[in-house]
Structure 1
Amino acid sequence: MNISTIEMRDASKERAPPYVQEKPPSYDSFYGKIKHARDTSDGKIDFLKEAMKIAGASVGFIVCLGLALAIPIACIVIGVRYLDDCPLERFIPIYLVVSGSATILPMLLKICMSCITMFSSDQDESDSWFACSAYTVVMLLGCFLLSWYIAGNVWVYSNYDDLSTNSTSENYCHPTAYYFSFWLFTSAYILAGCSCVVSCICWCFSLCQ
């Protein structure tokens, strides 16, 4: 073997890029946390619970929750604006104001809890106390909102046939206030129905596997 061949081999070795071993996904990332939960969960139900906790502490969830604040804010604005413009059922604009105000607080608490979970690696005693207090407030407001939601359904749907857009009529209610309330309830039922259908389909696929 001559000297030129040896020199060419040495040069090719020097030009070869070093081997870099690929690192596994970090558990600090969203994908890593989901993968870790899937590997350590005791079943599909347990994995679903852990995945919901991880998603609830993600940046995307906080952003979506912040955008969703537009709905209760719109309820408050429309309810205050047309508070005296619904003799058909005076509780319809009141419903909008109360439900919007009672919905904003638990949403803000959920954003705060998600931020604490996301930015604090080790929760101290004060964080645990805040989370327990926040969950208690959310549960109490949830019970109130459920009862208030049922009452709102009665006020809106029971007066649908009697609605008049004539401002001089006793059955008058401003169209913006009434139809906003009507479609608020109707959209909630549509979304609930779609969620049930998707959940049933996913459940059937999981049983077939």
Structure 2
Amino acid sequence: MKNRNENGNKKLSFADVVLSFDDQRHLVQTTMSWDTRHCEESMPEYGAFLYQIREAGKESANCVDLTCKTTDILCNTLFVTLFIGVSLALPVAMVSIGVKYLEDCPKEPRIPVYLLVGGCFGVIKLLSSLWRNIQTRRYHDVIFDDPDADGAFNSSTYRTMDTLLFLFLFGWQIAGTFWTFNIWTPHFEQLLYEPSNWCDKTVYMFTVYQLFTCYVVIAAFVLVLGTILFLQKCCCS
């Protein structure tokens, strides 16, 4: 026979070799493609910011729910986490200056108290938020107010205390603004004929800069959040 050699073994033609090679190549390609699709389906990019925003839009029942979820996602980003860590220096400085100059603003003695109290509660708030963000990023667990979640940061008690702390700090910020600008440009040195009509320049100007910084951060956060919600609404409509 033509296809057998002298020893009786079957000889493979060039067409048979090419066909076998093609079959193996297709088999390898099919296996690799299936593995890639399988990995993409089994491990979606939960850490991606845009993915989380898109899922929040799908699962939100109304605008309020969407705003809360988007705020939660934005607060859990790496940038915000790092910003919270750096921002811890501000409340620490508030406590330090409030204690040091507690008696050095008789014109408005509540200003050093504002720094002291606001700094203490600010440290608690920032540390709580920082720890929550670190744990969320570690376990890739985006908290969407899931009623079945049993984590410490998902509990209604934690959320209630966190909300009350935020409202207190916001109200304390408004009170500090009123106390500070109610005596705008006071005397920075003690007067002989009016010994109580002065406020130390360090404590007063630090309070002014602290208030300005906080309002700028709040405005920037609201602007970014509003932009994200607007773009999300435009994309979904």
Using structure 1 for the length normalisation, give the TM-score.
0.69
1:178-209 CA-to-partner distances (Å, cap 9, x unmatched) read 11100122233344455566667677765696
When the two chains are superposed, the root-mean-square deviation of aligned CA atoms in Å is: 4.0
Identity, in percent, stands at 23
1:74-113 CA-to-partner distances (Å, cap 9, x unmatched) read 2112212222333333222221011111222233334455
The one of 112, 121, 137 aligned to 1:93 = 112
Q: Which runs of 5+ in 2 are unaligned?
A: 1-11, 142-147
Closer, same or farther: CA 145–87 of 1 in aligned 2, 3 Å: same
Aligned length in residues: 205
The one of 66, 75, 93 aligned to 2:85 = 66
Is 1:51 the counterpart of 2:70? The answer is yes
In structure 2, the partner of 1:7 is 17
Closer, same or farther: CA 27–12 of 1 in aligned 2, 3 Å: closer
Distance between the aligned counterparts of 1:179 and 1:150, measured in 2? 17
Alpha-carbon contact 2:186-2:199 (below 8 Å) kept: no
SS in structure 1 at match of 2:155: helix
Is 1:36 the counterpart of 2:73? The answer is no
Distance between the aligned counterparts of 2:157 and 2:163, measured in 1? 10
Alpha-carbon contact 1:79-1:94 (below 8 Å) kept: yes
Alignment of 1:1-209 (within 5 A): 3-11=13-21, 14=24, 18-19=29-30, 20=33, 21-22=36-37, 23-24=40-41, 26-27=43-44, 29-31=46-48, 32-42=51-61, 46-57=65-76, 61-114=80-133, 119=139, 123-124=149-150, 127=152, 131-164=155-188, 166=189, 170=195, 171-193=197-219, 206=233
Higher mean alpha-carbon deviation, 138-147 vs 111-120, is at 111-120
Larger Rg: 2
Closer, same or farther: CA 111–160 of 1 in aligned 2, 3 Å: same
Alpha-carbon contact 1:113-1:131 (below 8 Å) kept: no
CA drift at 1:55: 4.1
SS in structure 2 at match of 1:30: coil
1:26-61 CA-to-partner distances (Å, cap 9, x unmatched) read 456223444433334446654443333344455554
Tell me the amino acid that sits aligned with residue 156 of structure 2. Answer: C
